[in-house]
Amino acid sequence: MKWLEEELKELKKKNLYRELRTLSSPQGKEITVNGKRVLNFSSNDYLSLASNFNCECLKQWGSGSGASRLVCGNFEIHELLEEKLAEIKKTESALLFSTGYMANVGVISTLAREGDLILSDELNHASIIDGCRLSKATVKVYSHCNVEELEFLLSKERGKYRNCFIVTDSVFSMDGDIAPLSELFRLKEEYDAVLIIDDAHATGVVGWSSLELFDLTPDERTVIVGTLGKALGTFGAFVAGPRVLREYLVNRCRSFIFTTALPPHIACQTLENLKLVPERMRVLQEKIEFFRKLTGINSNSAIFPFLTGSEIKALELAKGLWEKGFFVPAIRPPTVKESRLRITINYEHSKEDLEKLWKILKELL
């Protein structure tokens, strides 16, 4: 496999080489990474629920699910959680998936077929992109949050296709900005399309659902994908939408059917964590507001991008912060076009933590 070595050397030369870091503590505001205790500004565990646990969940349900949902891995606790998730998203139903990656790949490739049209924001998550690729539908990518361009594409192209899907992150994972959901909601009506919203970084951060921000309620043309591994602190994901969608996915969605069900104790722990969300979310939102005012970085979520101009600069700043005891990751291509530090705020961060981070970052500059 000599060619792999060559390609890795090339990545190193371009400052695009990646390495795994190793945690030897639970997730949280402070973590031990590669043997060093650091203040954590890198996780998606926005509400510090990843380190929460209730042993009763494990005691009651054991460690595994033993089969796929359709064989003998469908537990009543899965269904209880699904009802709760449908309630928070204000949809008729929800269906659990083992990961958000599988939920996006599954729902998009199951719904969209040859002869259909998918319109996708250029900054959508990789799992959305892969779902589009797998679907055999025609995919057109519109510039980030550009409603005019999207409407132009719809008016020009919609008539040539059978079904049409508009798909977008609600909170964009590397930029922290929010999709223009009011306009997208209107366009899906006007052009007879289905809107698929990925709420991975919105659930439990901006509200129970991103649609709340716009006073919108999901209807029969709305699909919401959510994850359990971010603010909700556990693992797994779900698709929320009309009852007929759930029924169809159970029958046809390959990434739902051909995989082992989420372990039931995780569903149980997620229900436990959900009880803590409202209070912690309120605190998190205060911290977000404080950090936005402090830094002037324009974000409406817990994700604050700090653009660095080059790969090397991002790496240098991340290294400088690391040496001072702050873990802020450098994010580089191909994950993003423009290299950056990606600062994520956690409900446990104190105002002093946030001020210290910003002060040291400015000194390093």
- Which residue in the set 41, 46, 61, 101 belongs to the binding site for ligand PLP (CB under 6 A)? 101
Q: Which helix (H) or strand (E) holds 295?
A: helix 264-295
Q: Segment 116-135, which members bind ligand PLP (CB under 6 A)?
A: 125, 127
Q: Which amino acid is at 77?
A: I
- Which residue in the set 39, 86, 179, 237 belongs to the binding site for ligand PLP (CB under 6 A)? 237
CA–CA separation, 72 and 63 (whole Å)? 15
Residues 6+ apart with CB under 8 A from 350: none
Nearest by Cα to 302 from 178, 123, 126, 122: 178
**CB of residue 121 vs ligand PLP: minimum separation in angstroms?**
11
- Which residue in the set 73, 100, 176, 329 belongs to the binding site for ligand PLP (CB under 6 A)? 100
Indicate the residue among 237 and 331 with the shorter CB distance to ligand PLP. 237
Indicate the residue among 40 and 44 with the shorter CB distance to ligand PLP. 44
Indicate the residue among 88 and 237 with the shorter CB distance to ligand PLP. 237
In our burial notation (b when 16+ CB lie closer than 10 A, e otherwise), range 17-41 reads: eeeeeeeeeebebebebeeeebbbb
CB 127 within 8 A of CB 172: no
The residue range among 18-26, 99-107, 272-280, 333-341 that interacts with ligand PLP, by the rule CB under 6 A, is: 99-107
Q: Is 104 in the site for ligand PLP (CB under 6 A)?
A: yes
**CB of residue 106 vs ligand PLP: minimum separation in angstroms?**
11
Nearest by Cα to 188 from 162, 211, 222: 222
Q: Is 99 in the site for ligand PLP (CB under 6 A)?
A: yes
Position of minimal CB gap to ligand PLP: 100
**CB of residue 180 vs ligand PLP: minimum separation in angstroms?**
17
Q: Is 299 in the site for ligand PLP (CB under 6 A)?
A: no
Indicate the residue among 226 and 264 with the shorter CB distance to ligand PLP. 226
Indicate the residue among 116 and 169 with the shorter CB distance to ligand PLP. 169
DSSP string, 114-143: TT-EEEEETT--HHHHHHHHHH-SEEEEEP
Q: How many of the chain's residues bind ligand PLP (CB under 6 A)?
A: 14
Task: Sketch the per residue contact string, 133 through 172, with ligand PLP: x for CB under 6 A, - otherwise.
Answer: ------------------------------------x---
In the three-class reduction of DSSP (H, G, I as helix; E, B as strand; rest coil), residue 303 is classed as: strand
Indicate the residue among 125 and 342 with the shorter CB distance to ligand PLP. 125
- Which residue in the set 173, 222, 269, 270 belongs to the binding site for ligand PLP (CB under 6 A)? 173
**CB of residue 204 vs ligand PLP: minimum separation in angstroms?**
13
- Which residue in the set 227, 270, 273, 346 belongs to the binding site for ligand PLP (CB under 6 A)? 227
**CB of residue 127 vs ligand PLP: minimum separation in angstroms?**
5
Phi, psi of 169 (to 5 degrees): -65, 145
Indicate the residue among 123 and 281 with the shorter CB distance to ligand PLP. 123
CB 77 within 8 A of CB 61: yes
In the three-class reduction of DSSP (H, G, I as helix; E, B as strand; rest coil), residue 174 is classed as: coil
Query: DSSP label at 213?
Result: G
Residues 6+ apart with CB under 8 A from 175: 123, 299, 303, 305
Instruction: Using CB atoms within 10 Å of the CB of residue 309, give its burial: 0 to 12 exposed, 13 to 18 middle, 19+ buried.
Output: exposed
Q: Is 273 in the site for ligand PLP (CB under 6 A)?
A: no
Q: Segment 300-319, which members bind ligand PLP (CB under 6 A)?
A: none
Cα 359 to Cα 83, 304, 354: the distances in Å are: 45, 15, 9
Task: Sketch the per residue contact string, 174 through 213, with ligand PLP: x for CB under 6 A, - otherwise.
Answer: ------------------------x-xx------------
Rounded (5°) CA angle 259-193-205: 60
Binding residues for ligand PLP, rule: CB under 6 A, are 99-101, 104, 125, 127, 169, 173, 198, 200-201, 227, 229, 237
